[in-house]
Structure 1
Amino acid sequence: MDGTARFDDRTDAGEQLGEELRERGVDADLVLAIPRGGLPLGRAVADALDAPLDIVVAKKIGAPGNPEYAIGAVASDGSVWRNEQAFRVTDADEAYFQEQREVEADAARKKAERYRSGRSPPVFDDKTVVVVDDGVATGSTARACLSRLEASDAGRTVLAVPVGPPDTIADFQAQVDEVVCLETPAGFRGVGQFYRDFTQVSDEDAMEYLER
């Protein structure tokens, strides 16, 4: 892949992802999208697999003085993934990390509650769960979301994304039963470069995909 746009928009990417999952025989009981950008894809994938759609939410834990530099991420239930290499090269210490973990887990919980609008969270017991996002770069939030499932009683977990760098995608293999990624370009610079339209998804629009 030469770095040119591969997908028209998130819905197109989700439709292609859904088709790939069907061809691979993935029989999903539940599709979980990572808000906000994962919901247009999650809707298309859930429709393709004839499965219910819900969400799994995680928040990035930023470095001291540099919130955009992820030293980890935490899901709404407190399940955490830490980037040990990034942690070591920042001024973060254990007290800082745990404090931010609590702050961001609370933010993730509130976001999940707002998106579900009073609906109960899904039950994972022995289900095949497909986690969908619009792509991964470092994959920090996706890793925390998958940690959430690892801590649950889900039967089988599948990560499905349209695009991601080869090393990141390879790393996910150890965390889930199956990884489905349509493109793993060596020249990966960012998820948006593979979309013709990568307009930011608002919370309101994202919630509409969930409610359909």
Structure 2
Amino acid sequence: MFADRTDAGDRLAAELERRGIDADIVLGIPRGALPVARPVADALEADLDVVVARKLGAPNNPELAVGAVASEGSVWLNDPLVERLGVSDSYLESIRSEEATNAREKADRYRETPGLPDLEGKHVVVVDDGVATGATAIACLRQVREADAARVTLAVPVGPPDSLANLEDEADEVVALKTPADFRAVGQYYRTFGQVTDEEAIEYLNRG
């Protein structure tokens, strides 16, 4: 159990240091990852920025991710789930367009210049406060890969084993402190897990 996101970040930073993982830049997934990512960036003496994606919710069940779209428009779809639910192409295109706009607007709120920072040839650590399906993390990792990062590590406090196994195909290394088989939701592993506002998240970015 983590006390809060900052506690999770401190413990995640210690594990990354123990493994000898370095970083040129740490990218948090807004908004909840920023309190986790700040201690990681400080410990690794790396810059902190953001990578943004939005999940694509299933019809009539927006909390169930059938995929995700990154802020620059690239899409990842959970094809078996899309097929099983019978999600139409027209629905996917409609929600992709809407959520791509939302992701781009969110990214613009967090940084002064559009697009990701220069990642070519860099060691990048992508941080989230936890993963459930992993859809958003996949979209973010692919965005970082396409920016020609030399090495990409995903670091999270908690996630289910099956989702983390899928994410190992997307990153050079996946670091997770807790991998419970009975995982239900990220928040159950935090004593305090309130919403992080845009203003609070931006404050973590500006602390460096």
- TM-score, normalized by length of structure 2? 0.95
Q: How many residues align?
A: 206
Change (3 A) 1:66 1:188: closer
Stretches of structure 1 lacking an aligned partner (at least 5 in a row): 1-5
Structure-2 separation of matches of 1:119 and 1:98? 27
SS at 1:7's partner residue?
coil
Structure 1 contact 11–44 (Cα < 8 Å) conserved = yes
Q: Which residue of 2 aligns with 1:30?
A: 25
Shift of 1:91: 4.2
Q: Which residue of 1 aligns with 2:107?
A: 112
Structure-1 separation of matches of 2:168 and 2:59? 30
Q: Which residue of 1 aligns with 2:143?
A: 148
1:164 has 2:164 as partner: no
Q: Which residue of 2 aligns with 1:179?
A: 174
Structure-1 separation of matches of 2:87 and 2:182? 31
Structure 1 contact 63–91 (Cα < 8 Å) conserved = no
Q: Choose from 70, 75, 79 the match for 2:65.
A: 70
Shift of 1:187: 1.6
Structure 2 contact 129–156 (Cα < 8 Å) conserved = yes
Shift of 1:64: 2.4
Q: 1:10-89 alignment to 2 at 5 Å?
A: 10-89=5-84
Q: Which amino acid is the alignment partner of residue 97 of structure 1?
A: L
SS at 2:3's partner residue?
coil
Q: Which amino acid is the alignment partner of residue 165 of structure 1?
A: P
Q: CA RMSD in A?
A: 1.2
Structure-2 separation of matches of 1:152 and 1:95? 29
Structure-1 separation of matches of 2:21 and 2:100? 31
1:196 has 2:191 as partner: yes
Q: Which residue of 2 aligns with 1:135?
A: 130
Change (3 A) 1:66 1:185: closer
Of 176-185 and 146-155, the range deviating more from structure 2 = 146-155
- TM-score, normalized by length of structure 1? 0.93
SS at 1:89's partner residue?
helix
Shift of 1:137: 0.8
Q: Which residue of 2 aligns with 1:3?
A: none
Structure-1 separation of matches of 2:166 and 2:64? 19
Shift of 1:189: 1.3
Structure 1 contact 79–151 (Cα < 8 Å) conserved = no
Stretches of structure 2 lacking an aligned partner (at least 5 in a row): none
Give percent identity, aligned residues only: 58
Structure-2 separation of matches of 1:174 and 1:65? 30
Structure-1 separation of matches of 2:50 and 2:40? 13
